[in-house]
Amino acid sequence: MAFRTYCLGFLLAAASGSRAWQQINVRDSTVRAVVFAPGAGFYFPMADLRQRTGVFYGVGGSIFYKTSRNFYWEGEGAFFTGNRIREKDALTRLATDDGFIIAQDGGFADVRILFRGWHAVFSVGTLLVRWGPNPNCGLYLKAGAGWHGHKIRIEVQNNNVPALQGEYKKGYDRLRGGIGLVQEVGYIFFSNNKRITFRTGVAFQEAFTRSLRGFNYDSGTPDARTYSDIAFAIKLAWMIPAYIRPSEFYYTR
């Protein structure tokens, strides 16, 4: 009997929540929502960052609050990866004249160098131009600031190069990081039936970074430079909104 009562209560609550969710009018009004937006992008390096890597890719996500006046308050994190390293002199000191690195067993080591990076950004934005099936859609603009970092990832097959193990490896990865800015413009879409929600845009990010190692093993000298690490990005994100009514959340997924 208790189990039947529990099931009946659950079904009634679900039906009530579904009706309330359906009553949220996206078609004719600007709605409030908390939105989770997983996404990805292609990044094209510029300035000092272009000396380190070629085109790289980013995956990540953000959570933002959308007000009834179409303002956005957003926190975002992303991880970057690429396999086109231009800064290939990091391991020169360990290599032979022919460019090979000798493994512990006397043979040639299988060493790969890759690009890895990340950022965490807080931004604010607004809908500039309403364009679409309802007043929540249109062209948006946002800007923010946060922390940016990146390094050369060194992978050694069989881990058989002592100079590239443990703490020694950090002397060659040229890790750097610093405060950066981000500006983004694009299109945001909320369907009238609340089922299709996405945004796509282009972004510029400018980071002003310094070496976080302080000393490069390959050159044997400190690295005190300030770098201008700039990238242009093309981004796409799928959005999962939780539409808000007074004191209540109604999830669409």
Structure confidence at residue 9 (pLDDT): 40
SS3 of 111-174: the string is: EEEEEEEEEEEEEEEEEEEECCCCCCCEEEEEEEEEEEEEEEEEEEHHHCCHHHCHHHHHCCCC
pLDDT of 114 higher than 90: yes
Residue range 78-92, pLDDT digits in tens: 999 999 999 878 888
Residue range 53-80, pLDDT digits in tens: 999 999 999 999 999 999 999 999 999 9
User: What is the number of structural domains in the chain?
Assistant: 1
Q: Say which CATH number the domain at 187 has.
A: 2.40.160.20
- Residue 130: domain span: 2-251
What DSSP line would sit under 201-222, residue for residue?
EEEEEEEEEEESSSEETTTTEE
Residue range 38-52, pLDDT digits in tens: 999 999 999 999 999
Structure confidence at residue 169 (pLDDT): 86
The upper half-sphere exposure of residue 17, i.e. CA atoms within 13 Å in the direction of its Cβ, equals: 15
Local confidence band at 249 (pLDDT 50, 70, 90 cut-offs):
low
Residue range 169-183, pLDDT digits in tens: 888 899 999 999 999
